[in-house]
Copies of this chain bind each other. A is one copy, B any other.
């Protein structure tokens, strides 16, 4: 396992995740069509040219899923009981084909689980950042994590 147990987190912990990723046309097209998303900004070059972005805008649900994916290995891999929910998911800047993403995580809340004495809730703030150092996606994720097993 590469994630950390509940007891191993403190509020204010921050990490930059090693895996970076350039977003490609394939990502945006496959993702939008797999999810039946018909938004022309994602699929229609001519409509995108006429928009305020002037080019294809990458599907924000892909951006979100990539941000979560890039963070899982260092945060909850092997220690997750369940993802309880996500809040305040925003896309402050657009993502374009060819942009390169990196992810950061900060712990913003900790709470013992009432129902599971062997677990606790960690609230992470995840941020996805492009090569121009703009935040392109941000959210809170509350994860129920195992406590460290008693040896």
Q: A residues engaging B (CB < 8 A)?
A: 19, 21, 27, 30-32, 34-41, 59-62, 64-66, 68-70, 72-73, 76-78, 80, 83-91, 139
Question: Do the beta carbons of B61 and A37 come within 8 Å of each other?
Answer: no
B residues within 8 A CB of A36? 19, 21, 66, 69-70, 73
B residues within 8 A CB of A139? 86
**Copies of this protein, total:** 2
**Bound complex: CA A88 to CA B70 (Å):** 22
Q: A66-B36, A68-B61, A70-B36 are in contact. Are A85 and B89 (CB under 8 A)?
A: yes
Question: Do the beta carbons of B39 and A77 come within 8 Å of each other?
Answer: yes
Q: A87-B87, A87-B88 are in contact. Are A62 and B60 (CB under 8 A)?
A: no
**Bound complex: CA A61 to CA B65 (Å):** 5
Question: Do the beta carbons of A77 and B38 come within 8 Å of each other?
Answer: yes
B residues within 8 A CB of A73? 36, 38
